[in-house]
Amino acid sequence: MKINPSETLNTVQKEIGDYLDQHPIVNTVVLIANHIFRCASMAALMLYMPTPLPVTLALGFTASLAYRFTIERFCQYRFAIPSYLGAQAWIVSGESAIEVITGTALRSISSAATALLQCVPLVLYGLSITIQSYTAAQKNSSRVNCCHTSSSCIA
């Protein structure tokens, strides 16, 4: 018996998709994890680019917009712009967030206040992806394909 990899992948994809459609909270957690993974990838890319920061920011923004306008226009889930903004939030707030988590920012009231204020972009990003993911998971019953034609994808 010959196994068709494409058919097997489509079957597994459909089963997982159906499960996630029936369990919106699990779907929300999966979407948030995907957002965080993409944000971390974008932040790593931006931090280690051999170009000056303004050039890196411009390249990241341009690439994210291009991806959004070309590929993601067919997708229900849109990650390019949020991952870019999340990377920016991490670059601005990451060190302060680590200081708050480890408690080193809590040595004085002024250092705690400063660190908490510097964490605002990261908190806003977290709230944004949580709301976006929850809303998308709730609308999953009318799933939209990330394809030009539905004949090449699972409906």
pLDDT for position 113? 92
Is residue 141 within 8 A of residue 21, CB to CB? The reply is yes
Question: Which residue in 129, 105, 99 sits closest to 29, CA to CA?
Answer: 129
Share of the chain above pLDDT 90, in %: 37
pLDDT for position 32? 92
Question: Which residue in 85, 101, 96 sits closest to 38, CA to CA?
Answer: 85
Confidence check: pLDDT of 106 > 90: no
Q: What is the dihedral of CA 7, 20, 43, 48, to 10 degrees?
A: -30
pLDDT for position 140? 67
- Joined together, the tokens standing for residue 85 give 């903004």
- Joined together, the tokens standing for residue 101 give 């988590």
DSSP 3-state of 1: coil
Domain boundaries of the chain, sorted by first residue: 9-139
Phi, psi of 77, rounded to the nearest 5 degrees: -100, 135
Q: 36: pLDDT confidence band, cut at 50, 70 and 90? A: very high
pTM confidence score:
0.74
